[in-house]
Structure 1
Amino acid sequence: MSDEPVFSRADLPPTNEPLRIAARRLRWFRAAFARVVGSVGEEVGCAFEIDDSKLTQIFIRWLEALDRQRPVPKEERAAFLEFASSLAFRELISDLPIRTRGSPVRAKREVPGGFWPEAYACMIFCLTVHSATLEQEYHVATTIDPQGGDLRSWWSFRENAQEDHAFSAGFFQKLLGHEPNWFVPEQFRYRIGRWLLEPEADGTQTQSPP
């Protein structure tokens, strides 16, 4: 996986609402998930079956987690928008709503898409929505940590996520260049450092390290 920004709105359903609002609509969320997962299936060479019941429950838990942690200060809203993606990833990994039909035929076992295709598809979904939303709201170009394509990191991720679902949130935050609070990676208020969106000289914004 490259650390260049490669995720765009092209794989997402159209909407007349801001993406941060559309993502909170079950119909759009399910349609976006199906489209992104379908694209990932074509990439790795396998078909995914989606459990819509599981996906609906995941969506509800995600919204509840967001509402419990939503910050009041305006200066923290951008950081929380970033954080929200890690909570979605946590919920998806804790109760995977997809399974493969057959083994990936275009992805080697030495890459994430071949090693754990279900989790890889969920990661791409969260990254796609995340990057498109930040681009729309703050003109931010999302960059991904190189460990996103490191199989050793995925071995550790899979092992730890099976023991503690919160680990998935920390793994996702790490992909976005933030150092997670590994004790409580699913808690926004206890995150390490400050997540900032700083303006560049040309008026655009980029993610700064914590």
Structure 2
Amino acid sequence: MPLNLAETLLAEGIAPSPDLSHQVRKLGFFREGFFSYADAIAGRLGLSVVVDPVLLTRAFLDWRDEFLGQSRVADINRRDYMIFSSALMLYNLVRHRPASLDLQHQGHVLASAGEVKRLEVFWPEGLLYTGYCLTTLDTVLAQEGEEPIHLSPLIAETATWWSFRENVLEDPTRAIGFLDLFVGAEPNWDMPCLAADRPAIRGLARRIRH
């Protein structure tokens, strides 16, 4: 895959913190981390991203309720539940849309070259939301001693992002499946918000029962 996109999305890591997997469940920590990541990515891409703190808070609170409400299945496959948690956050960011591109920079974007710049033209917010979720996931997995993420080549294909954007405009829950695709996990397109029905969790649960 072109390194520009992967390097840009994952370049700005989440600040190290003890017990990060629990810290990310706190609103203050989340807000600080998201604003920091948004500013860093905007700076790298030469854009100005405006974040609505009220919508950002709503996205977080909805994510936390959904995440904690299904945590009973986390121990079945901890790594996959961490992926699910990140995908669930992406879904809520896409649904509440707390960030927006300052359109006065569009001329700069259109004049720029490279895969990332072309993606910025039609969906810069999608890059921001996805990059934040992937970066947080990668950092938490590392701290928890889990296998790191391995980004799929699909993440560097413009057609994938067009499909991603069109699908989530119709149904924001599909963002969960797209993040799964980006990290090489098997999506559950029928019921993406149900952790217990994820292939990696459901299959392991069956083996445990038998």
**Match of 2:52?**
51
Q: Take 2:100 and 2:12, find their aligned partners in 1: how far apart are those partners?
A: 24
Tell me the alpha carbon deviations over residues 18-58 of structure 1, each in whole angstroms, 9 at most, x when there is no partner: 11111011111001101111111112211111100000111
SS in structure 2 at match of 1:138: coil
**Match of 2:80?**
79
SS in structure 1 at match of 2:33: helix
Q: Take 1:76 and 1:3, find their aligned partners in 2: how far apart are those partners?
A: 32
Letter in 2 for 1:155: W
- Count of equivalent residues: 195
Shift of 1:75: 3.5
Q: How does 1:1-150 map to 2 (within 5 A)?
A: 1-2=2-3, 11-15=13-17, 17-72=18-73, 74-101=75-102, 102-104=104-106, 105=108, 108=113, 111-150=118-157
Pick closer, same or farther for the CA change 1:86–1:131 going to 2, 3 Å.
same
Shift of 1:78: 2.8
Pick closer, same or farther for the CA change 1:121–1:33 going to 2, 3 Å.
same
* Greater mean deviation of Cα atoms: 63-72 or 128-137: 63-72
Pick closer, same or farther for the CA change 1:152–1:9 going to 2, 3 Å.
closer
Instruction: Name stretches of at least 5 consecutive residues in structure 2 with no aligned partner.
Output: 204-210
8 Å CA contact 1:55–1:97 kept in 2: the answer is: yes
8 Å CA contact 1:19–1:133 kept in 2: the answer is: yes
**Match of 2:208?**
none
**Please, which of 165, 168, 172 is the counterpart of residue 161 of structure 1?**
168
Q: Take 1:184 and 1:39, find their aligned partners in 2: how far apart are those partners?
A: 34
Shift of 1:141: 2.5
Pick closer, same or farther for the CA change 1:3–1:44 going to 2, 3 Å.
closer
SS in structure 1 at match of 2:190: coil
- Which structure: greater strand fraction? 1
8 Å CA contact 1:79–1:195 kept in 2: the answer is: no
Shift of 1:109: 8.5
Q: RMSD of the alignment, in Å?
A: 2.6
- Which structure: greater helix fraction? 2
**Match of 1:205?**
none
Instruction: Name stretches of at least 5 consecutive residues in structure 1 with no aligned partner.
Output: 197-210
8 Å CA contact 1:90–1:169 kept in 2: the answer is: yes
Could you tell me the TM-score, scaled by structure 1's length?
0.82
Seq. identity, %: 26
Could you tell me the TM-score, scaled by structure 2's length?
0.82
8 Å CA contact 2:23–2:29 kept in 1: the answer is: yes
* Greater mean deviation of Cα atoms: 106-115 or 54-63: 106-115
Pick closer, same or farther for the CA change 1:136–1:119 going to 2, 3 Å.
same
Pick closer, same or farther for the CA change 1:181–1:49 going to 2, 3 Å.
same
